[in-house]
């Protein structure tokens, strides 16, 4: 289903509740009654076209079909990506951690069996944090700098050097896949831990991991298929102009 401006926001959420954190990050919180997406965006001062592109990209996964890059502002994309990082750090990662701890505390299986899960997740968390930090401290500032230079049509010497030495394509090539390790962790829980009498807590960990993986896939797609191509075009234009 394609989300449109006249659709009621509540209907979009009933269609796919995984949109909830996405609309939160875009500036909409629950309690919107029967308002349409357009009415809500107007009320909150949210760019409706950007909103529709992000939610449809999340649902459809084919960004080329849902996003017309000419209409997208780099600043908006970066604000959205940063809000997503914050949501991972403050909500999703602690949620997975809490569920792993509850599983270890209350399961009937020997606690030592779970050390593998806990250690695996600890390692993952370090890599995950390093990934986010690199993007926030290096990549996003660079992206905004290129965008600004492109807007004013002026390329300073230090930015020229950066474009020549570390263009956005080099980030794209090294952009590590932070979702694949989650797949391995899910498999430990699904396949390799011994059977227990009650799978409820294990399912809870798995649910949180599936949710995080799904959200991260969307996040990386926006970085790779929206941010990178936009900045790549700007870099080429700037290089041509000097
Ligand atoms: Fe990111
Ligand atoms: Fe990333």
Break the chain into its structural domains and give their ranges: 9-66, 73-241
Contact 140, 78 (CB under 8 A): yes
Question: What is the per-residue pLDDT for 61?
Answer: 66
CA of 110 to the centre of ligand 2 (A): 36
pLDDT by residue (tens digit) across 40-76?
999 999 999 899 989 988 887 676 766 677 778 999 9
CA of 116 to the centre of ligand 2 (A): 26
CA of 177 to the centre of ligand 2 (A): 8
Residue 218 has pLDDT above 70, yes or no: yes
Ligand nearest to the CA of 178: 2
pLDDT band, residue 22 (cuts 50/70/90): very high
Torsion angle of the four alpha carbons 40, 46, 49, 55, in this order, in degrees rounded to the nearest 10: -70
Residue carrying structure tokens 């700037």: 238
**Rounded Cα gap, residues 24 and 19, in angstroms:** 9
pLDDT by residue (tens digit) across 110-143?
778 888 889 999 999 999 999 999 999 999 999 9
Question: What is the per-residue pLDDT for 66?
Answer: 62
CA of 172 to the centre of ligand 2 (A): 9
pLDDT by residue (tens digit) across 154-209?
999 999 999 999 999 999 888 877 888 899 999 999 998 888 888 999 999 999 99
pLDDT by residue (tens digit) across 88-115?
999 999 999 999 999 988 887 777 888 8
CA-closest candidate to residue 28, choices 6, 51, 50: 51
CA of 42 to the centre of ligand 1 (A): 28
């Amino acid at each position: 289903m394609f989300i449109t401006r006249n659709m009621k926001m509540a209907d979009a959420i009933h269609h796919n509740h995984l949109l909830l954190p996405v609309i939160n990050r875009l500036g909409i919180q629950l309690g919107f009654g029967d308002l349409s997406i357009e009415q809500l965006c107007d009320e909150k001062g949210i760019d409706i076209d950007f909103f529709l592109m992000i939610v449809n990209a999340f649902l459809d996964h084919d960004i080329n079909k849902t996003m017309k890059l000419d209409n997208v502002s780099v600043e908006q994309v970066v604000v959205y990506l940063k809000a997503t990082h914050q949501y991972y750090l403050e909500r999703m990662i602690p949620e997975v951690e809490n569920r792993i701890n509850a599983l270890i505390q209350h399961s009937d299986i020997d606690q030592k069996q779970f050390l593998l899960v806990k250690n695996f997740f600890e390692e993952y968390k370090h890599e995950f944090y390093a990934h986010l930090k690199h993007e926030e401290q290096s990549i996003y500032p660079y992206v905004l700098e290129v965008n600004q230079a492109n807007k004013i049509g002026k390329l300073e010497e230090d930015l020229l050097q950066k474009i020549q030495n570390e263009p956005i394509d080099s980030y794209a090539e090294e952009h590590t896949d932070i979702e694949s390790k989650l797949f391995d962790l899910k498999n430990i829980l699904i396949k390799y831990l011994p059977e227990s009498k009650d799978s409820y807590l294990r399912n809870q960990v798995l649910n949180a991991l599936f949710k995080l993986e799904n959200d991260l896939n969307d996040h990386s797609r926006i970085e790779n298929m929206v941010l990178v191509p936009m900045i790549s075009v700007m870099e080429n234009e700037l290089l041509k102009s000097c």
